[in-house]
A and B are shown apart, each in its own frame.
Chain A
């Protein structure tokens, strides 16, 4: 019997609160292990999407193999999985952890333990991972690693004596971190000769090779030509190739037990491969599938419409392709009088929405309109039936509604004591109720709130950051549904209701919000040939109004010495600008108007 030696494999994720420096540490590891030579280093190598690099955030997990020659003289295979830090993508983190034996928990030496440090540490502990604490950014003058060690022990109950002090920026301590991984993270277990059992932790669609799946092998091995079956989906395929990312793709003869790598499936249907499914041999299946992933539940829904209705089919195809590596994405068709045919798409949060919209526009070259985000309301009708309403348009007539329930979250905010007052104030403004307040240490307090999800998805997080000078950190999870007095706020342009601008809001907030929205729309909607009145209404009652004045002058009178080409180019530029607008009735409305709700300052 061939027992593959897995003692020199270490599979680990790097987890942290957002901005604590995961991706920079990953970069240094790639550099120190000569996976990537210094001269080829692009900053944040593992963030391969343009959006990730531009925004400096990690959205997708990414698995890379590095070979590390340790101080004991042996060479170790590290499979490093970079994970997202933003709370919207907690789901991605738990997916990655299922493929690992260990986690490097990164804590910023200047910020200390923050809300998502706590949740990510809990995720790692619940997954029974070996945790390697690392204190990052020790090169900064304001670093206080000793205090952070105490915080890690007190607040996370993780022994921090062995915590490694590192600087992702200078590379200091990275060698120690790699040594700690060798000693603290357990090697994977498993049997190379047993029937294949491999977890699909990610996948993406490639025009030429079909679906490519990232897998972690728990038992068995995969090589080109194997006939495999996805246990949940029931579909089989012939393996077209296997390999690893270093971080460029390298093809291998075989992926074996304990390893992480990719499998080229050749499947041309983007929906065929489900993340969380178990791969096994078609002819010699394993006894039972891996537990897989709990399904990610969308929190926020928005309408996504192509500006040009001809792009409807392309939008659907694009959503299907994105879903391959973002299984949390769900959608259903939606029709709007103002915007035509589109989809109501569910997202994990607003950042997720922005990222998906941006990817759709860039990677699939679509011009899209996103409408006001909504949550999933439970509407109890007078006839006793309960319906889920995710779009303001679907709200039944007031006379047929008995009551409405909205989703509540349990939110956890960690903040220095000096800012508890500011957080309380913000909470009150957002209909939140404080349920608990725990003094974690002299310099941090954990405040717990019950807060309507609808309040949190608007500007809560930005407000929290600005009112606490950036000190507060936030984490949340779904709690339950509670009855609320909600109304539908409609917006009328030139007297016509624009369904895509409607919004469900608590009745106490309807007036200020309507005023704010009318004012904001007045700023966003350009002046047109005719005056455009903007009105906010609940039912038939107008509660706010503003007016976009008619444009008086729009002419290039200058002669430019007969340079007519130049005049024409200016006209074409103006036309280009108009293409990004949607004609709603006779009014040209820019894309961003439909998300004006996010920009209303109260």
Chain B
């Protein structure tokens, strides 16, 4: 097997959102220029280093995420071009924010070979956007979507429910407004308060900022209904697409396929044999692999700009199998009986059967055409379902 997916991380934004705990610095002007000037050469060097080993030869999908990649402006085109020197992906996505995305950038990216734009819209209500520290408005968001469309991209937009001040009615309006723009793909994320973020700190003092889980559930259900009626099928817990427009790259995450992550805080996953092959670029990994004869899968996160430090997590075959089941339950097509049989071979038939039975009994999953798929409850109470599957990793 070869690595078919590549993720690049751009850890910069113009301003950090109140709910965000990803690795990203809010910078503008000269400070941003300086940071970019220092970051990109190191990013390029690592792209080239992997390229030279042949690791990028079979890349089919690329995802440039952040942060806000569009704050790079024209430099984002250079990033794309650099990747393109090593591979010829069929899908190449760039994340953008409306305030830093315009027609010239759209056209530049299109020419460089980007096929898909994922736009962080979150809401079409200006007050809700301001509350979470977004820099754009409804008007700039719609304008950005139109630019993307005009440049010929596959267009996706991210929406959030459970935002401070958001109501069920305002959510329906946001949904309606987005559907009217006819994007190809919509992602719906319920807001989570992450420890240490400004929003979480404010919520300690003001309980009304805590996302209301009942409202979030209502919003998620409404999203499925409305998007479904408009021709968007849910293919993953948070993802809806018109036929043929599901994000190939994200599906690699859910299906146990290997992917490389390049850039500070980028995450990757490789099989043991792949990891061994590229060990020269993964500092400290060889020692860890030598010490863990039973590691079958390596997950890693690049810790610094120069990739001198990388954090690893080594998973046994059993853990990898449990993880695949866990991730499979995020997808509407679930896990095929043959894949479950494969997992049972590694984990033990009784344990896997028992978990599948419990998931069905608790109404979180059901069998459908030889596949174990999540139910409506299984979508909303995903953590229960994923937790059941991941528990299979523990032999005790």
Contacts and interface: CB of A to CB of B under 8 A. Distances in A.
A529 B384 contact: yes
Contacts of A529: 362-363, 377, 381, 384
Interface string B366-396: 0000000000010111111011001100000
Contacts of B323: 564, 568
Nearest to A571: B387
B218 to A, nearest CB: 8
Contacts of B220: 553
B250 interface: yes
Nearest to A563: B267
Interface string B335-379: 000000000000000000000000000110000000000000101
A574 to B, nearest CB: 6
Contacts of A566: 267
Contacts of B377: 529
A549 B214 CA distance: 10
A564 B253 contact: yes
Nearest to A569: B313
Given A562-B261, A568-B326, A557 B267 contact: no
B235 interface: no
Interface string A558-580: 11111111111011101100000
Contact of B382 (A552, A556, A559): A556
Interface string B8-42: 01000000000000100000000000000000000
Interface string B226-263: 00000000000110000000000010110000010100
A553 B216 contact: yes
Given A559-B253, A568-B323, A574-B387, 8 more contacts: A551-B213, A552-B216, A553-B216, A553-B380, A556-B382, A561-B267, A562-B261, A575-B391
Nearest to A553: B217
B67 to A, nearest CB: 9
Contacts of A572: 390
Interface residues of B, number: 47
Contacts of A551: 213, 381
A560 B301 CA distance: 12
A555 interface: yes
A552 to B, nearest CB: 3
Interface string A514-556: 0000000000000001000000000000000000010111111
Interface string B62-88: 010100000000000000000000000
B152 interface: no
B65 A561 contact: yes
A302 B238 CA distance: 48
B381 A555 contact: yes
B266 A561 contact: yes
B327 interface: yes
Contacts of B252: 562
Nearest to B191: A558
A564 B267 contact: yes
Contacts of B259: 562
Contact of A554 (B261, B269, B313, B382): B382
B283 interface: no
Given A529-B377, A553-B216, A557-B188, A564 B383 contact: no
B214 A555 contact: no
Nearest to A556: B383
Contacts of B299: 564-565
Interface of B: 7, 9, 22, 63, 65, 187-190, 192, 213-214, 216-218, 220, 237-238, 250, 252-253, 259, 261, 265-269, 299, 301, 313, 323, 326-327, 362-363, 377, 379-384, 386-387, 390-391
A126 to B, nearest CB: 53
8 contacts: A552-B216, A552-B218, A553-B214, A555-B383, A556-B192, A562-B269, A567-B386, A574-B383
9 A-B pairs closest in CB distance: A555-B382, A552-B217, A557-B238, A563-B267, A553-B217, A562-B253, A553-B213, A554-B383, A553-B380
A557 B190 CA distance: 7
Interface residues of A, number: 25
B269 A558 contact: no
A561 B249 CA distance: 10
Contacts of A557: 188-190, 237-238, 382
Given A565-B299, A571-B386, A555 B379 contact: yes
A571 B380 contact: no
B288 to A, nearest CB: 14
Contacts of A554: 213, 380-384
Interface in A163-196: none
Contact of B381 (A553, A561, A564, A571): A553
Nearest to A562: B253
A136 to B, nearest CB: 39
A559 B237 CA distance: 10
Contacts of A560: 22, 267
A598 to B, nearest CB: 25
B24 to A, nearest CB: 11
Given A553-B216, A553-B381, A555-B190, A565 B301 contact: yes
A421 B237 CA distance: 62
Contacts of B218: 552
A570 B390 CA distance: 12
Interface string A247-290: 00000000000000000000000000000000000000000000
A578 to B, nearest CB: 9
B299 to A, nearest CB: 5
B313 A565 contact: yes
A572 B390 CA distance: 9
Contacts of B363: 529
Given A558-B189, A562-B261, A565-B301, A552 B362 contact: no
A553 B9 contact: no
A483 B250 CA distance: 72
A575 B392 CA distance: 13
Contacts of B384: 529, 554
A565 B267 contact: yes
Given A562-B269, A571-B383, A553 B190 contact: yes
A308 to B, nearest CB: 12
Contacts of B22: 560-561
A570 B192 CA distance: 12
A558 B7 contact: no
Given A552-B214, A553-B381, A556-B382, A561 B7 contact: yes
Contacts of B261: 561-562
B381 A568 contact: no
B269 A555 contact: no
A341 to B, nearest CB: 21
Nearest to B256: A564
A309 to B, nearest CB: 16
Contacts of A552: 213-214, 216-218, 380
A562 B250 CA distance: 8
Interface in A104-148: none
Nearest to B387: A571
Interface in A216-249: none
Given A551-B381, A554-B384, A564-B327, A559 B213 contact: no
Contacts of A563: 267, 301
Contact of B192 (A558, A562, A565): A558
A562 B266 CA distance: 8
A555 B65 CA distance: 22
A233 to B, nearest CB: 43
